[in-house]
Amino acid sequence: MYMMRNKQIVISGGTSGIGLATAELFAQDGAEVLLIGRNKAKGLSAAQKIQQLSPGSVFIQADLSTMQGCHNAAQSIKRRGREIDVLVNAAGIYAEGRLGTVTEIEYDELMNINVKGTIFLTQELLSLMSKLDASIINIASDAGVNGNYGCPVYCASKGAVVAFTRGLALDCAPLIRVNCICPGDVATPLVEKQLVSGNYTLAEMTKAYPLARIGKAEEIAHMICAIASPLNGFMTGSIITIDGGLTAG
Ligand code: NAD
């Protein structure tokens, strides 16, 4: 469907939520998928699932919030001796907090994984992406374009991913296409945690959406695979919202 047979795909945050749904779709399409995540047990179980579709797929454990972690993950990938066709930067966290209460530790936690990890994993892997029409897809958020209530630092982290995408797309053309997806709320473990820690219910969250529901991880995964597909070769530097109409008005 996406022309991914025998391609090698790296997905940071590939062990859960949007990243895992994306790994499944790429694997179904014949690609070998390398899943990077923090948690070993979760990662091995995700890899087992993906290996049933694509036996060469593996889990790589790394903490991408540090440059050393990005370097270690990249070294494991380089040892495989293959070029990368697609890099999906999906590793990320969400945290609420009005500006008056945000601490330096909370700021660092958000920025280190959402921004630093995205930038330095990409830097580490660029040398493996020398094929024409290689593709990088970053996951930002509607909050990185329009802003959301009660999470200005998260908004800032995702705004940085949007701007990084645009700048990198210019620097990497014409070889590598670089695009960014901005989802609204999507049913994943990240949103499950948000609903536990926030002051609102799923029904309240859903009310904001013209399509009267939040997204499914498979819907975001489909868009990531479609962007990466060689059938989509003219798209670079694009920021694509998938948010059930949340930002349409
Ligand atoms: P999730 O919690 O299900 O998955 C997050 C993944 O990131 C996990 O695989 C985890 O291991 C990985 N990760 C987190 N910190 C890491 C670290 N320090 N090192 C390595 N890996 C790390 O979340 P999700 O909903 O699938 O989110 C994926 C991306 O989409 C995130 O960047 C998130 O900000 C973004 N996003 C999610 C939503 C949503 O509503 N779910 C909306 C907009 C944007």
Residue closest by Cα to atom 11 of ligand 1: 37
pLDDT for position 249? 85
pLDDT for position 128? 97
At 11, is the pLDDT very low, low, confident or very high (cuts 50, 70, 90)? very high
pLDDT for position 189? 95
pLDDT for position 69? 98
In ligand 1, the atom with minimum distance to the C-alpha of 142 is: 43
pLDDT over 90 percentage in the chain: 96
User: What is the whole-number distance in angstroms between the Cα of residue 111 and the centre of ligand 1?
Assistant: 13
In ligand 1, the atom with minimum distance to the C-alpha of 92 is: 32
In ligand 1, the atom with minimum distance to the C-alpha of 220 is: 30
* Residue 154 bears catalytic tag: yes
Residue closest by Cα to atom 2 of ligand 1: 190
pLDDT for position 132? 83
Average pLDDT of the segment spanning 3-26: 98
Does the pTM surpass 0.85? The reply is: yes
Catalytic residue among 2, 94, 107, 154: 154
* 45 Cβ neighbours under 8 A, 6+ residues apart: none
User: What is the whole-number distance in angstroms between the Cα of residue 153 and the centre of ligand 1?
Assistant: 16
* Residue 33 near residue 9 (C-beta atoms within 8 A): yes
Q: pLDDT tens digits for 147-171? A: 999 999 999 999 999 999 999 999 9
pLDDT for position 123? 98
Q: Which residues line ligand 1 at a C-beta cut-off of 6 Å?
A: 13, 15-19, 37-39, 62-65, 90-94, 113, 139, 141, 183, 185-186, 188-191
* Residue 170 near residue 188 (C-beta atoms within 8 A): no
User: Radius of gyration of the chain from Cα atoms?
Assistant: 17
- Geometric angle at alpha carbon 190, from 207 and 161, rounded to 5°: 95
Indicate the burial class of 90 (C-beta count within 10 angstroms; 0-12, 13-18, 19 or more).
buried
